[in-house]
Structure 1
Amino acid sequence: MPLPHWTSENVLPPGRHLADLSDIYERFVWDAPYRNEREILFSALSGYLGVVCRLIPSGRAWIGGELVVRSAEVPRDVDVVFIPDEWGALKRLDGPARSTFYGMFTLRGVIAEHPVMYLDQVQPVSGLVDGFLCHPGDEDAWEAAWSRGPVPGMVKGFPEVVW
């Protein structure tokens, strides 16, 4: 199902819009400025989703960030929030799979050792992706965050990938 066309404000109409990767590519890479930069972000998103989908048997991913807005600014990142269908699947991940899965999420306020340093934020895929995990009961808060437009008071839509 193709994504709806851009609104006059250069965002998707409000709401969650079911999409697959080809829909996301068509709307946010092909039909938007800065195609080269968007190609890089799309590649990062595609690989990122591929890894998560191998680890989580089923769920949803809401896509946000600068990629999903048609702006005069060069997009710098793409945001993804994952909503697993079954939380028990996360608990059953073995050691290496669990490390891979939890290593794919954005961390804020990180202190690293050897050498000791403080990092404001650590992001997967060289900072191209901000990845988050939606805990049960937090869906409304994430939906409100993903619906905020680029200017105060604007409401925008976002794609939802289901597997």
Structure 2
Amino acid sequence: MPLPHWTSENVLPPGRHPADLSDIYERFVWDAPHRNEREILFSALSGYLGVVGRLIPSGRAWIGGGITTRMEGVPQDVDVVLIPDDWGSLKRLGGPARAALYGLLTLRGVIAEQPVMYLEQVQPVGGLLDGYLCHPGDEEAWAEAWSSVRGPYGPIDGMVKGFAEMTW
């Protein structure tokens, strides 16, 4: 089922909209400004979700952020929150798979050794994507965050948007 058309405010209608990668490409790349920049973000998203599917047996990914609007500004990254169907499967991940999962998540306030450095934020896919993991029971908070519309100075009061939901 294709994603709904843009509203007069250049956002998706409020709500969670089922989509697959071709739906996301059609609405968020083909039918939006700055197609070249969005193409790069879409490629990052596609590769990211491929790795996610190898580590997490089944779940949902909510796609949000600037790429889910048709605003004139160039989107800087794609926002993704992962909602595993079986949280226990993540707890059972072994060393290399667990490390790979952590590599898919945006980390803040990281201290690295050899050489020692403090990193304000570490993002997957070279900073093209923000990846988060939704803990059980936190879905409502994530839905609220993914529905907010941000302008250059923070959230725009009273404006809400929809977001895409992919399942695997």
- TM-score, normalised to structure 1's length? 0.97
Which residue in 2 is equivalent to 1:115? 115
Which has the larger displacement, 98-107 or 10-19? 98-107
Q: Which has the higher strand share?
A: 2
2: CA distance between counterparts of 1:96 and 1:115? 23
Which residue in 1 is equivalent to 2:165? 160
Secondary structure, counterpart of 1:72 in structure 2? coil
Q: How does 1:1-163 map to 2 (within 5 A)?
A: 1-150=1-150, 151-163=156-168
2: CA distance between counterparts of 1:69 and 1:98? 33
Superimposed CA distance per residue, residues 28-73 of structure 1 (whole angstroms, 9 cap, x where no aligned partner): 0000000000000000000000100111111000001111111111
What percentage of aligned pairs have identical amino acids? 78
- TM-score, normalised to structure 2's length? 0.95
Which has the larger displacement, 134-143 or 96-105? 96-105
Structure 2 segments unaligned to the other structure (5+ residues) = 151-155
Secondary structure, counterpart of 1:75 in structure 2? coil
1: CA distance between counterparts of 2:94 and 2:72? 44
Deviation at 1:154, TM superposition (A): 0.5
Letter in 2 for 1:76: Q
Secondary structure, counterpart of 1:152 in structure 2? strand
Secondary structure, counterpart of 1:153 in structure 2? strand
Deviation at 1:116, TM superposition (A): 1.9
**Runs ≥4 residues deviating over 3 A:** none
Letter in 2 for 1:3: L
2: CA distance between counterparts of 1:111 and 1:57? 31
2: CA distance between counterparts of 1:75 and 1:33? 10
Secondary structure, counterpart of 2:146 in structure 1? helix
* Number of residue pairs matched by the alignment: 163
